[in-house]
Structure 1
Amino acid sequence: MTTTPPFPAPQRTVDLTDCDREPIHQLGRVQSYGALLALSTDWIVQHASENLEAILGIPAEAALGRPLHELIVSDGFDRIRQNLRVVELQDGVLRLFNVAMQASGKAFDVSVHGSGRHLIIEFEPKVATRGRDMLAEVYPQISSLSRNRDLRSLTRAAARGLQGLCGFDSVMVYQFQPDQSGKVVAEVRKDGQSKYDGLMFPASDIPVQARALYKRALLRLISDVNDPGSPILPGTTLDGQPLDLSLAVTRSVSPIHIEYLKNMGVEASMSVSIMKDGELWGLFACHHHSPRYIEYERRTALEMFAHMFSYELSRFEDQQRKKVEDETSRLQTLLMGHMADGRKVADSLLSISEDIASIIPHDGAVLFENESFHATGTVPSEEEFRGIARFLDRSIGAGVFHTDHIGRYLEAARDYPQRAAGLMAIPISKRPRDYLVLFRKQIQETVAWAGDPTKPVSVGPNGHRLTPRQSFEVWRETVEGRSLPWSLEQEHAANKLRTILLEVYLKVLDASEAERKRAQEQQQLLISELNHRVRNILNLMRGLLSQSRASSDTLEGFTADLDGRIQSLARAHDQLTSEQWEPTSLKSLIQCEFAAYASDKSARVQITGPDAMIAPSAYTTMALVLHEMATNSIKYGALCDQSGTVEVRLAEDSSGGLLIDWAERGGPPVTPPKRRGFGTTIIEGSIPHELRGDAEVSYKVTGLEAHFRLPPTVISQIVAEHGTTAAPPPARAAETVDALKLSGQGMVLEDSLIIAMDAAASLEDLGAPKVEILSSVPEALRWLDHNAVDFAILDVNLGEEQSLPVARRLHETGVPFVLATGYGSAEELVATYPPCTIVQKPFTSTSLEEALRQAMSGA
């Protein structure tokens, strides 16, 4: 009984990938113009083509199992053995011409290559050349290639040259497109007609595995499409697989390809690969309307011609790239010229849009910078572009991206092809991603195909296998929603432009549009000086302790002197790092430096002449220089002993600049430094380099002398002299008449344990019976949930968080608190925090007491 299934048995879908899977390198046959032997590693014949007897005079069955040297004469065998080194290279093929293989002296052209565990040897009977010299024929054709100035004339010259060498009826230059379809860019025919020139061929016409073979075996001859070929015996290896004939020159032809050629009306065919930069650029496709055999030696010469064409093609494209580079360099000059006039980057870039269009034609451009939209020409709207920008951010990476069909990637873009169908995106920064995007409108283009590309194949009668299309009539397709494609030269220009724009943005975005390099150098100088200065301060602390101890009779006096000097150091540091300077007194700066570092010796410093109000930019530089001069005088110069003096004379020069003469007298003998340290570099180099002024230092026997000149550009005002000024000594802490008495629970929120302990000790000295030390906002809030507090000290920055939530909690509950900070009484703190008293770090017991008094009086 037969049971009928409820549904028909499923049929396997046949599509174009069937062509891609066809094992064209394992057909098990050779073309009849040559014979093949496959040898084991010990030179024993394991496979032979059935036509071996017709070619070599030895039946295939008789050759199997015999060593090669028994089948051919010793001269031929030795010649093969002696030249095998070529075969050891990847895809290496040994070519030997005019080799004697039989005792009769009959000559053969021989090809030898490795295939897995086998050595493949192919024989083609030598065709008499009647004294013709291959090189003499090839050289003139090669010479003609170098005389062409554009791709069209170059490819046509190459097609004519190859036709002259091979004699085929037609020769086409077939170029692969980015989507692997092909386009005939040149055609030469003996009948003078143009049949396929300019036509497109679907990618399926040359399947994936065929393109892979074209990269390995550069020439493929099909001498007769009606040749049934000769099978290889036995048909499979010991593991049941056919021989891999990928590099075999006599390899037979796929039935699908034979049928394809017959449908074109072709009787013989030859293809020669055109390689460029290691990839398959295209093919020379040669067709003949009758069988045609080309001897192996001539085929080798044709390969050489193709290599030379590849070289000329690369040279031509290099010349095109050089033109692009020259034009792009001109763009760079234009862009820099616009920016030198003070224009913003966006204005400068969009103003040269027409110049960019002369190199990379486009209809409109968008500069998307820091989330800002700048546009010129025909482009999408800002909202539409932001959708494109999101696509670019998640998809394209750091390189140039281009497409002639945005709608293929972004569905929303299909709504505005009349404004933007294609784009070229040039990333000009890293994060956040900024772009220059060039747009092209859609064009309604008619593309001519050699047959309908949507129906390139049809299912044939041989089971589940594809049969090639039969019609090669011109089929025209109207393309919409696409722009003109972007060429390789335009992509190269975009990459060059990207390099230029990256350079511009590196100069602009991190600092200012005109002074990035200068600002970066200044920043590095400040960082180095801060490191240098911190080390100096640490070393000075020991000296301050020692001087304060020597000059104080009581512990209280020692503490007051030390507090005053530390406060002086803090003031000097504030002058160096403040970000909101106004023009400031130079004399005050000199006095501050000596007050901070010279202690009571500052009375031996005399400052004469008019004062100068110097600009903030110069103030930082002068602080560095005067700091080095003052500390050097204290450590090594006139102020290092008890008798020396320092005279600083200020004077206005005739141009409105300021002269500073520094003279040290009465100190120890002066010797020039043995090495040029960072401090010396600051003294001698900062004013000339940063301010365009002058600096000169002399190490005289009578004492060090230095002469500086500040140009008028850094001076806002010269203030008339009011007599001689001495640098004041460091201020002592003021006495408090009515000491503050604290009671109740105190809290210190500070992430530095030493500072927290010092603050807690100060509170205890003021009478606080209990002080809780906490280090983080969550910890403080949890503690406040279960404890009452009467007063508090809060640090502003606690590692990666700020104390603002705790300040708000205290303000809501009416608890007075003091905000301790090293940032100064910045307006941002006042605006952000609840009303409170701010005390500067490093604080003293006196300054902390005064701040608490203010906080508690306002509670």
Structure 2
Amino acid sequence: MSYESEATANAAVDLTNCDREPIHLLGRVQSYGALVAVSSDWIVQHASENLEEILGTSHEQAMGRPLNELIVSDGFDRIRQNLRSVEGPNGTIRLFGVVLRATGRTFDLSVHQSGRHLILEFEPKGEQRGRDVMSEVYPQIAALRRDQSMTVLARDAARGLQAMCGFDSVMLYQFQPDHSGRVMAEVRKDGKSRYDGMMFPASDIPVQARSLYKRSLLRLIADVNDPGSPIRPGVNLDGSPLDLSLAVTRSVSPIHIEYLRNMGVEASMSVSIMKDGELWGLFACHHHSPRYIDYERRTAIEMYAHLFSYELTRHEDVRRKKAEADTSRLQTLLMGHMANGRELSESLLAVSEEIKNVIPHDGLVLFENEEFNATGSVPTEEQFTDVARRLDQAIGSATFVTDTLNTLHPPASEYAEVAAGLIAIPISKRPRDYLVLLRRQISETVNWAGDPTKPMSYGPNGARLTPRKSFEVWKETVSGRCAPWTVEERHAAELLRTVLLEIFLKVTDAANLERQRNQEQQQLLISELNHRVRNILNLMRGLLAQSRASARSLEEFTENLDGRIHALARAHDQLTAEHWEPASLKELIRCEFAAYANGKSKRVKVDGPDAMITPRAYTTLALVLHEMVTNSVKYGALCDESGSITLTLERDTGDGLLISWIERGGPPVQPPTRRGFGSMIIESSIPHELKGDARIAYKLTGVEAHFRLPPAAIARMGEVEAAPAPVQEAPKAPATRLSGQGLVLEDSLIVAMDAAAILEDFGASDVKITSSVEAALEWLETNRADFALLDVNLGDEQSVAVAERLRDMGTPFVLATGYGETDDLIAAYPPCVIVQKPFSDQSVEQAFAKAMNTAGK
């Protein structure tokens, strides 16, 4: 143990005195080495008084001289060439067997930066054994029994270090969370055990000493009776002493010397054990007579401690993996119970013994939805409810662990014999539910190396924190505390928390989450529907205004507007048939020609690979193709019996799609005398909405148009077809004439009036409009319909009952719907013809022609 601290005689006696003592500013070195501090230009500005004894040059002669005048050039060059390793706050270079004087004597050197000085320490090289001391490290590490307990690993490590250093005793000392220390293992040459298992108070190693142990990993005190050698001058020009934090020869504070003498120790060595960047513990080596170990061997010992820290990590990893495997088996068991329909509480209690095997405990509580379920040694429901409320206030979402529940919740002192410590595992969000594992109080006798409550006494220098005179065993009986939760148990608890959260969220909260998802989905659908309806209304308004502005007659306006609306409707049908996924460009071309070419589609040739077009681009392209097709049918290659159209689709070098429209053989082309809305759609829609390109040329030989869709508009492209088939159109139904009285069942008045007008245009003498199933059935009680057009959805009802009445009456009818011919719709209604909304004169005519034909059979 190391207690490097020195308090002033008049300082107030409290534990923070030790934590404030400048143990790195002692201004002396131990006699086994000498020290010089040089400026950036290698001028000696400080030197220890024993420089002449060590190096052969007095400190007075060295002061103010360049270092290269004190040592041979080979030695100086070797120092200078290795200075790059000094970079960084804790950078140190170690040089072994360096010749510094003409006598040929060799030295071990330590060089580091301290403020504006470069500090060099020289230790005369001892007798060479003819063997590389580093080679001793790996056999000792290899001898560690890694598959045994921590106690065995610690004892092996202490034994290996003793073999390397030769000290009378070596202890492995682990810091506790409160900074006290426990001796994990002790190996002594006399075979006795003096401190094994004992605790040392945190005051034995104050804060600044622990900080130095993290920076300087090995500390040798070769002789407690060595007065050391002062450094001259003692301070810099600004009055500050040299910072010797990283000095390997740094002298020892008087209090620590007294501490070691009280232990009967004349030489000591402390080697830091670092783990995860923090000070995990120390190897504490003691000798009953002076003992010096040269710098090279000390470096090998330091390497041994480094490698042991890796073994610690590996040891913990093995334990962690075991905990993970145990938890995985526990998860399988738990899921098996819940798969049989058991509640979470029932399932957890059923596997409580398995949980105890992974994380030993005395009692288990599941506190879920304010319900108390428990087994084993636990507080009452009322007592635990108070604990749960305190946990809500004090902990976060991670697992909470305590050995002393009364420190979190003082009333717990009353039932410490039932539950003194716990691991609380939150298994839901607020209000939290918990799985809590509890342990009973254990009455433990802790052996301290002296009374930890009396770290100070009156020494020769007055009231100060004087080291204990006695290290006799001081026994303390501890109560109100449970057996400590190990690192592996804490890790297993965290794994169990993950398992339970998964189960809780997937099973226990499934209904709530499903409701929430449904609500969110409904809101999303409403928002999306609202967005799309507004877009459609804006689009319809724009089509209406632009078609009106460019039309020369009411008939032309009606025809243009109707065609454009149905072009959008056909594109929408294609997209919805694929669940709003990308749709085929060739199918869109086929639909447009089928709708308007009137038997002339065989004169249309489509070459090149098909392309799947994104939904947004598809509707834009539908309007452009509609304008091109109708213009060709009215004025271009398809307006007579001789013209033809070749559509070529090809991928360009930028992964875009080129569409070439070439008309040949039609009447001579006359460029338009005015630029109407249709021309705007052809020339501007693709550039404006899709960031593509469009150009059209009115040549005498025929219209030529070229469009480019950017890669963003294309989901994917197919291979070139060997022999592309010409676009075919659906056969046009013969003209249909209706006679008699008709019925329209539609809850939208405007749509109903449009449908009635279409039927009257086809010959109906009268058309009755109704908006509900009840009204339609009531009218049919006293009237007979010769034909009927029924909407499927009428607000909160469907027209199935009216369709069945019409079937029974032998009346042909057509269903109008925006859903298309779905399997559910076909199954729900009597056999009938279905027309897609928005319908047109042509689609209604074709539907009734088919319905009348079917009824006549």
Q: TM-score, normalised by structure 1?
A: 0.64
- Structure 1 residues 342 and 65, CA gap change in structure 2 (3 angstroms): same
SS in 2 for 1:122: strand
Counterpart code for 1:550: D
Query: What does 1:576-615 align with in structure 2 at a 5 Å threshold?
Result: 593-595=792-794
Q: Distance in 2 between the 1:637 and 1:141 partners?
A: 91
Query: What does 1:548-563 align with in structure 2 at a 5 Å threshold?
Result: 548=752, 550=754
Matched, 1:20 2:19: yes
Counterpart code for 1:129: Q
- Structure 1 residues 598 and 427, CA gap change in structure 2 (3 angstroms): closer
SS in 1 for 2:316: helix
Query: What does 1:78-97 align with in structure 2 at a 5 Å threshold?
Result: 78-97=77-96
Superposed CA offset, 1:203-259 (max 9, x none): 111111111111111111000011111111111122222211111101111111111
Superposed CA offset, 1:508-559 (max 9, x none): 354239xx6x878767765555455545666788795752453589xxxxxx
- Structure 1 residues 600 and 402, CA gap change in structure 2 (3 angstroms): closer
- Structure 1 residues 157 and 211, CA gap change in structure 2 (3 angstroms): same
Q: Which one is further off, 12-21 or 216-225?
A: 12-21
Q: Distance in 1 between the 2:841 and 2:276 partners?
A: 73
Superposed CA offset, 1:252-306 (max 9, x none): 1111111111110001000111111111111111000000000000000001111
Counterpart code for 1:433: R
Counterpart code for 2:836: I
- Structure 1 residues 539 and 294, CA gap change in structure 2 (3 angstroms): closer
Please list every run of 5 or more consecutive structure 1 residues that lacks an aligned counterpart in the other structure: 1-9, 554-560, 569-590, 610-621, 647-664, 668-723, 725-859
1:645 is displaced (CA, Å) by: 5.2
Q: Distance in 2 between the 1:562 and 1:227 partners?
A: 117
Query: What does 1:277-356 align with in structure 2 at a 5 Å threshold?
Result: 277-356=276-355
CA contact (8 A) 2:95 2:109 kept: yes
Q: Which one is further off, 146-155 or 109-118?
A: 146-155
SS in 1 for 2:301: helix
- Structure 1 residues 84 and 623, CA gap change in structure 2 (3 angstroms): farther
Counterpart code for 1:641: S
1:388 equivalent in structure 2: 387
2:751 equivalent in structure 1: 547
Q: Distance in 1 between the 2:394 and 2:458 partners?
A: 38
1:202 equivalent in structure 2: 201
1:78 is displaced (CA, Å) by: 0.9
Q: Distance in 2 between the 1:567 and 1:53 partners?
A: 120
1:138 is displaced (CA, Å) by: 2.0
Q: Distance in 2 between the 1:293 and 1:644 partners?
A: 110
Superposed CA offset, 1:375-416 (max 9, x none): 221112222222222322222222222111112232211111
1:353 is displaced (CA, Å) by: 1.8
1:181 equivalent in structure 2: 180
1:92 is displaced (CA, Å) by: 1.1
- Structure 1 residues 361 and 644, CA gap change in structure 2 (3 angstroms): farther
SS in 2 for 1:468: coil
1:838 equivalent in structure 2: none
Q: Distance in 2 between the 1:50 and 1:566 partners?
A: 114
Superposed CA offset, 1:452-489 (max 9, x none): 22123323222453210011111111111111111111
- Structure 1 residues 12 and 42, CA gap change in structure 2 (3 angstroms): closer
SS in 2 for 1:467: coil
Query: In structure 1, which of residues 618, 638, 641 is the aligned counterpart of residue 843 of structure 2?
Result: 641
Aligned length: 599
Q: Distance in 2 between the 1:112 and 1:601 partners?
A: 97
Query: What does 1:234-633 align with in structure 2 at a 5 Å threshold?
Result: 234-512=233-511, 529-534=525-530, 546-548=750-752, 550=754, 564=771, 593-595=792-794
Q: Distance in 1 between the 2:172 and 2:112 partners?
A: 29
Q: Distance in 1 between the 2:771 and 2:234 partners?
A: 102
Q: Distance in 1 between the 2:824 and 2:154 partners?
A: 70
- Structure 1 residues 70 and 565, CA gap change in structure 2 (3 angstroms): farther
- Structure 1 residues 594 and 394, CA gap change in structure 2 (3 angstroms): closer
2:617 equivalent in structure 1: none
SS in 2 for 1:119: strand
Counterpart code for 2:324: E
Q: Distance in 1 between the 2:338 and 2:510 partners?
A: 15
- Structure 1 residues 171 and 11, CA gap change in structure 2 (3 angstroms): closer
1:103 equivalent in structure 2: 102
Superposed CA offset, 1:98-125 (max 9, x none): 1111111111100011111211111101
- Structure 1 residues 552 and 119, CA gap change in structure 2 (3 angstroms): same
1:55 is displaced (CA, Å) by: 0.8
1:148 is displaced (CA, Å) by: 4.2
1:69 equivalent in structure 2: 68
Query: What does 1:804-819 align with in structure 2 at a 5 Å threshold?
Result: none
Query: What does 1:145-164 align with in structure 2 at a 5 Å threshold?
Result: 145=144, 147-164=146-163
- Structure 1 residues 598 and 97, CA gap change in structure 2 (3 angstroms): same
Percent identity among equivalent residues? 62
- Structure 1 residues 626 and 285, CA gap change in structure 2 (3 angstroms): farther
1:604 is displaced (CA, Å) by: 8.4
Counterpart code for 2:46: H
Q: Distance in 1 between the 2:770 and 2:235 partners?
A: 98
Q: Which one is further off, 385-394 or 293-302?
A: 385-394
Q: Distance in 2 between the 1:627 and 1:238 partners?
A: 101
Q: Distance in 1 between the 2:805 and 2:504 partners?
A: 49
CA contact (8 A) 1:633 1:640 kept: no
1:178 is displaced (CA, Å) by: 1.4
1:38 equivalent in structure 2: 37
1:832 equivalent in structure 2: none
1:606 is displaced (CA, Å) by: 10
CA contact (8 A) 1:452 1:475 kept: yes
Q: Distance in 1 between the 2:204 and 2:304 partners?
A: 25
Q: Distance in 2 between the 1:95 and 1:203 partners?
A: 32
SS in 2 for 1:91: coil
- Structure 1 residues 625 and 409, CA gap change in structure 2 (3 angstroms): same
Q: Distance in 1 between the 2:424 and 2:754 partners?
A: 72
1:351 is displaced (CA, Å) by: 2.3
1:117 equivalent in structure 2: 116
Superposed CA offset, 1:424-466 (max 9, x none): 1112222222222211111111111111221233232224532
Q: Distance in 2 between the 1:21 and 1:545 partners?
A: 91
Counterpart code for 2:80: R
Query: What does 1:693-842 align with in structure 2 at a 5 Å threshold?
Result: none
1:65 is displaced (CA, Å) by: 1.8
Superposed CA offset, 1:697-722 (max 9, x none): xxxxxxxxxxxxxxxxxxxxxxxxxx
- Structure 1 residues 508 and 90, CA gap change in structure 2 (3 angstroms): farther
Superposed CA offset, 1:556-577 (max 9, x none): xxxxx99958999xxxxxxxxx
Q: Distance in 1 between the 2:74 and 2:405 partners?
A: 65
1:160 is displaced (CA, Å) by: 0.8
SS in 2 for 1:145: coil
- Structure 1 residues 604 and 538, CA gap change in structure 2 (3 angstroms): farther
CA contact (8 A) 1:146 1:312 kept: no
CA contact (8 A) 2:49 2:230 kept: yes
Q: Distance in 1 between the 2:807 and 2:139 partners?
A: 90
Q: Distance in 2 between the 1:216 and 1:307 partners?
A: 13
Q: Distance in 2 between the 1:91 and 1:562 partners?
A: 94
Counterpart code for 2:427: I
Q: Distance in 1 between the 2:827 and 2:201 partners?
A: 77
Query: What does 1:211-222 align with in structure 2 at a 5 Å threshold?
Result: 211-222=210-221
Q: Distance in 2 between the 1:231 and 1:155 partners?
A: 39
Q: Distance in 1 between the 2:284 and 2:136 partners?
A: 20
Q: TM-score, normalised by structure 2?
A: 0.64
- Structure 1 residues 547 and 357, CA gap change in structure 2 (3 angstroms): same
CA contact (8 A) 2:773 2:801 kept: no
Q: Distance in 2 between the 1:90 and 1:606 partners?
A: 95
- Structure 1 residues 606 and 321, CA gap change in structure 2 (3 angstroms): farther
